[in-house]
A and B are shown apart, each in its own frame.
Chain A
Amino acid sequence: MSEPRHQALIDVLGAELVPVRRLLPPWLRTAGWLALVAAFAVLLFAHYGDAPMLRRWAGAPDLAWAALGAVLTAVTAAWAAFTLAVPGRSRAWAWLPLPPALLWIGASGLGCLRTWLAPGTSIATLHQSADCLVFIIGFSIPLSALLVWLLRRACPLRPLLAALLVGLASASASACLLEICHAYDAAATDLLTHALAVGIVVAANAVMGGRLLSRQ
């Protein structure tokens, strides 16, 4: 039996007790979020088809490696965010997206060194690169919103870290979706635009998502 002071609170909490539905495991919640990403991908494939993307990848495999890195970054960042939103889980989970992110960045960077153009692509002008920025930010908004909403159902005790992972997951997932309809080859301006878009999404999540997640 605890001291009377705490016992009063325990009695109140006991009186308020109702059965609760346990939180689903992090991998299952990650799969739920990825279902929305997949739904967006299906819509984009329906509109653009997969042939141009596969032709680009066949001609320039670094684009395929970069896309694989972005997909794995999205999956691991979301998984880490859901795991860290459960109290008692190690913060080492936050490092999980690092290897795929390095693959994504490395393959994208190497693509800029290539001396031939991937089939069916051109080098994006500054205006065309801006469209990529709008695409990544535009798709990141609903993806981030859903992630934040799902994480608020858990208990993210490190809200800023969780928000950074939300930003990384959303931005990398949006970059994957962009790959479906991205008719531009890897180049410094395009790479910088993508990096800027990812940076904006991560920073916006750190500011806004961090506040939303800290109300626990």
Chain B
Amino acid sequence: MTADGSLVWDGGFAPPTDCRVSVSAEPASANEQAERRRAAWMAAAQAGDRRAYERVLADSVALVRAVARRHGVGADALDDVVQETLLTVHRVRHTYDPARSYDAWLGAIAGRRAIDTLRSQGRRGRRELHDEFALDSHPDRDDASDDAERRQQARRLREAIAQLPPGQREAVEQLGLREQSLAEAAAQTGRNTGALKVNLHRALKALRGRLNGDP
């Protein structure tokens, strides 16, 4: 803890200037106590204490939001960053060293997930811009026949999805059709995000093969 009430990211080597969490709104001792509490909970969670784990995760939500905001993540995407961060924390909880700052450890993960979210939004934004351009450049000429063709394509797609294995069908339904985030889909299906990504990838490959005749 520094004199200006900031938590320094790393105890070893030179701390980077962009890795600080401003906590000046609360007294320093309260923050230190809160961080020590989170560190103790996470240490207990590593040993399998579920109650401590749920506490530390719940207590981490506000910190993750603060880190995501500082990286410039918009209000609409904050929850995605929180959920992706919690999932990462779950996967890499063995990397936390109780002798070091829990907030620094969590902040680094949250920062990375915030950047991932911003990149993903950027990619989506560029795609959507191109789609708009394509729509303007190539307007529909025959709405009636296009409508019929779209209905036929939708029916073929529904049939193809129905023929997928259950895991792949579930991934397409949750992530593609209901537009849920990976974190939401993971929470709903009880599968981990890695399995969902793999299932979605396989499902899309299978659908491409069935609909376009791709190998």
Contacts and interface: CB of A to CB of B under 8 A. Distances in A.
Given A6-B82, A7-B58, A88 B108 contact: yes
A86 B61 contact: no
A157 B187 contact: no
A38 to B, nearest CB: 26
Contact of A13 (B57, B61, B79, B109): B57
Interface stretch (B13-21, B28-36, B151-159, B203-211): B13-21
B54 A14 contact: yes
Given A1-B58, A22-B94, A87 B105 contact: yes
A85 B90 CA distance: 16
B165 interface: no
Interface residues of A, number: 37
B150 to A, nearest CB: 34
A14 B53 contact: yes
A43 interface: no
Majority secondary structure of chain A interface residues (helix, strand, loop or mixed): loop
B61 A89 contact: no
Contact of A87 (B79, B86, B108, B183): B108
A191 B46 CA distance: 49
Contacts of B111: 157
Contacts of A114: none
Given A16-B90, A17-B53, A22-B94, A88 B48 contact: no
A9 B183 contact: yes
Contacts of B9: 88, 90
A11 B109 CA distance: 20
Contact of B92 (A6, A14, A25, A216): A216
B2 interface: no
Contacts of A155: 88, 91-92, 95, 109
Contacts of A11: 54
B95 to A, nearest CB: 5
B69 interface: no
B10 A89 contact: yes
Contacts of B186: 9, 12
Contacts of A88: 9-10, 100-101, 104-108
Contacts of A9: 83, 86-87, 183-184, 186-187
A82 to B, nearest CB: 11
Given A19-B48, A90-B13, 19 more contacts: A2-B57, A8-B187, A9-B83, A9-B183, A9-B186, A9-B187, A10-B54, A12-B187, A12-B190, A20-B46, A87-B106, A88-B9, A88-B101, A88-B106, A89-B12, A91-B16, A154-B92, A157-B112, A216-B92
Interface of B: 9-10, 12-16, 19, 45-48, 50, 53-54, 57-58, 61, 79, 82-83, 86-88, 90-97, 100-101, 104-109, 111-112, 183-184, 186-187, 190
26 contacts: A2-B58, A10-B86, A12-B187, A13-B54, A14-B50, A14-B54, A19-B46, A20-B46, A20-B93, A21-B94, A22-B46, A22-B96, A23-B94, A86-B97, A88-B10, A88-B101, A88-B104, A88-B105, A90-B9, A90-B12, A90-B13, A93-B12, A155-B95, A157-B111, A216-B88, A216-B91
7 A-B pairs closest in CB distance: A19-B48, A88-B104, A87-B108, A155-B92, A20-B94, A90-B10, A88-B105
